[in-house]
Structure 1
Amino acid sequence: MRFLVTGSNGLVGSRVCALLEKNGHQVVGLGRGARRTGGGYRYVECDLTREQDVSAAIESAAPEVILHPASMTEVDACEKDPELAYAANVNATAAVARSARRLGAHLVHVSTDYVFDGEHGPYDEQAVPNPRGVYAITKSMAEQTARIFVPGCAIARTAVVYGWPAAGRANFGAWLVGALEKGQRVNLFEDQFVSASLADSVAAMVAELGERKLGGIWNTCGAEVVDRVRFGRALCEVFGFDPGLINPVRMADMKLASPRPLRSGLVVDKARAQLRAQPLGLAESLTRFHAAWKAGRGTEEKKP
């Protein structure tokens, strides 16, 4: 099959491209700036906020399936620059979805648990979004935009995606490892509950939604809902770091630019029942994360 993947330099997008290529598909990756990944698939530099460029790139690739993980994910940055967040999350999704509609391509749009207010989590696929803050609102609008132009599309919601290598800016897991490895103390929220998700696992579920051309809403995330302190302590156990470096804090005590859901997390019963790529429990996710980190360190040590 012919696939096009947006955000192919990113944490999820890069892994989706690699997996699809491994599975024998023809892949074109779109990304901002120069290519920063390996692989034999074709890469096209493209600013997704420029609809003419998006349309030209997608029509040239003529994909049967478009996977759209690209977005502006820095929550506080979105709050400080709503125009940029709207362009990156809503306008870009509209450009991609319009092209999918014109070509008759199946669309998988990657979204987030932040579309919920975090008062009654964890949430299943039937829960009604109630976003708070610019990032959350633009991601919720992007979901609706995708469904307007491609009613049969899939919405793949994920949460706190982490992985190694980091692919650009440090994700939560990579940041945590970097700090703990240096013996630095870290503040983690003891009152925010999330479905922390290994990027490789998310990529596998998103790729399957594309390969099988499945539609509807899917929670494609980690299988367990935990607070960030518990996540950090579990990571310390797997990596051999000092759990005493973790300092539990409450979100209300931190001065954050944007609101964040407290009791969030996603229910993965649907994915467990219907997808071959299964959501991973915390222990398995961290074991795989640790293996990737160790392999990466070994590669770095071999460099001259």
Structure 2
Amino acid sequence: MRFLVTGSNGLVGSRVCALLEQGGHEVVGLARGPRRTVGNYRYVECDLTREQDVAAAIEAAAPEVIIHPASMTEVDACERDPEQAFAVNVMAVAAVARGAHKLGAHLVHVSTDYVFDGEHGPYDEQALPNPKGVYALTKHMGEQAARTFVPSCAIARTAVVYGWPAAGRANFGAWLVGALEKGQPVRLFEDQFVSASFADSVAAMLVELGERKLDGIWNTCGADVVSRVAFGRALCEVFGFDPGLLTPTRLADMKLASPRPLRSGLVVDKARSQLHSQPLPLAESLSRFHATWMAGRGA
């Protein structure tokens, strides 16, 4: 099959491209700036906020399936720059979805647990979103844009995606490992509960949604809902770091620019029952994360 993957320089997009290539598919990776990934798939430099460029790239690639992980994910940056957040998380989605609609291509759009307010989590696929803050609002609007042009698309919601090596800015897991490896103390939220998700696992679920052309909403994330500090303690145990470096803190004490949902975990029963690529328990995710970290160090 012919696939186009946006954000192919990023944490999830790069892994999606690698898995598709391993599966024998024809792949075109789309991203802003020069190529920063390895692989034999074709790469096209494209600013997704330029609709004409997106349309031309999609038409030239003629994909049967588009997987769209590209996003502006830095929550506080979205709050500070709502224009850019809207351009990337809404208008770019609409441009990609229009291209998919024109070709009759299946679309897998990657969204987030932040579409929920975090007051009644964890959430299943039937729960009603109630986004708070610019990032959350624009991601929810992006879901609607995808559905508007490709009603049969898949909406894949994930959460706190981490992996090694990092792509671009450090993800939560890579940042945590980097600090703890140096013996630096870190503060982690004890009152924010999340479905932390290993990037390789998320990529495998996205690939399956694309290959099988599945529609509807899917929670493609880690299987366990834990607080950020509990995640940190579990990571310390697997990596052999000192858990004494972790200081529990509360979200309200940090005075962050954008609101965060406190209980934003996702229920993965649907993915467990219907996907071959299963959501991973935290222990398994961290074991695989550790293995990639060790391999990256040449250990």
Please say whether Structure 1 and Structure 2 have the same fold, judged by a TM-score greater than 0.5.
Answer: yes
Paired AA for residue 281 in structure 2: G
| Aligned residue in 2 for 1:302 | none
Paired AA for residue 207 in structure 1: V
- In 2, the alpha carbon distance for the partners of 1:8 and 1:19 equals 12
- In 2, the alpha carbon distance for the partners of 1:8 and 1:58 equals 14
| Aligned residue in 2 for 1:41 | 41
Deviations 1:159-189 (A, max 9, x none): 0000000011100000000000000000000
- In 2, the alpha carbon distance for the partners of 1:6 and 1:211 equals 16
- In 2, the alpha carbon distance for the partners of 1:89 and 1:112 equals 11
- In 1, the alpha carbon distance for the partners of 2:75 and 2:137 equals 11
| Aligned residue in 1 for 2:267 | 267
Shift of 1:242: 0.1
| Aligned residue in 1 for 2:254 | 254
Shift of 1:255: 1.3
- In 2, the alpha carbon distance for the partners of 1:297 and 1:47 equals 33
Local SS of the residue matching 1:24: coil
Mapping for residues 1-304 of structure 1, pairs under 5 Å: 1-298=1-298
Local SS of the residue matching 1:298: coil
Local SS of the residue matching 2:247: strand
Paired AA for residue 228 in structure 2: R
- In 1, the alpha carbon distance for the partners of 2:57 and 2:147 equals 21
Deviations 1:48-83 (A, max 9, x none): 000000000000000000000000000000000000
- In 2, the alpha carbon distance for the partners of 1:55 and 1:165 equals 31
Shift of 1:223: 0.1
- In 2, the alpha carbon distance for the partners of 1:110 and 1:264 equals 16
Local SS of the residue matching 2:218: strand
Gap runs ≥5 in structure 2: none
Q: CA RMSD in A?
A: 0.5
Deviations 1:241-299 (A, max 9, x none): 00000000000111100000001100000000000000000000000000000000118
Q: Percent identity?
A: 84
Gap runs ≥5 in structure 1: 300-304
- In 2, the alpha carbon distance for the partners of 1:264 and 1:112 equals 10
